Structure 1
Amino acid sequence: MKTISQVYSLHVTINNMLYPKEDKENRILLYACRNCDYQQEADNSCIYVNKITHEVDELTQIIADVAQDPTLPRTEDHPCPKCGHKEAVFFQSHSMKAEDAMRLYYVCTAPHCGHRWTE
């Protein structure tokens, strides 16, 4: 992300800030003084970038009804860390991030629990 000093230039002769302005006819970006007619062409046509990253906790994306899915494998080797119930369904899922490896997700099959975890 650019700093304010990288976005706005300075009109050195009268010590005023120059503001981004579009030259629609020539399709270029200019920096213009608001107090006089001084203008200069911008070095870069991008004046601002707003990058938004949305990270969602993968465990919250697991549907609670997955514990009743008869097609999922079940295990008694990984008891629920929340309620201690011995049975859990599990499945393998991959992250949307390329750097993350595949991992197993577990869901407690106890009707009163439904806790989700990964190891």
Structure 2
Amino acid sequence: MSVTKFCPECNNLLYPREDRRQQILIYACGSCNHKEKADSNIVYWKQIQQPGEDESLLPQDLTSETTLPRTKNVRCALCNYREAVFFQAKARGEEGMSLVFICCNSNCGHRWQERPVAHHAEH
């Protein structure tokens, strides 16, 4: 479950951010310089498909879904657009989860999956 976090310095809302250098999720204040490491890598959980359902039953315009994370670190194989929304899903025929990407180009919408995500125990 997602938890709203507030800055201990100025009581403003803390926003989830990626610390690319350390490759961790942090919460950062938009008003002061306060930052803190996130307790969990889950920012928000929304189940959009029941296990075993056909992928064609997913809502068609997931690129406008504000709760899904976005990345500009991928390139669509069909149109070369560099922005996509993504989420985890069970890979067909695989044991683990994989990342599903949807191209944000309004004229494309191509969907693709990356290799299964390894689950690591937290220390």
Q: TM-score, normalized by length of structure 1? A: 0.45
Question: Which structure's CA Rg is the greater one?
Answer: 1
Going by fraction, where is helix more abundant, 1 or 2? Answer: 1
Higher relative contact order (CA 8 A, sep 6+): 1
Q: TM-score, normalized by length of structure 2? A: 0.44
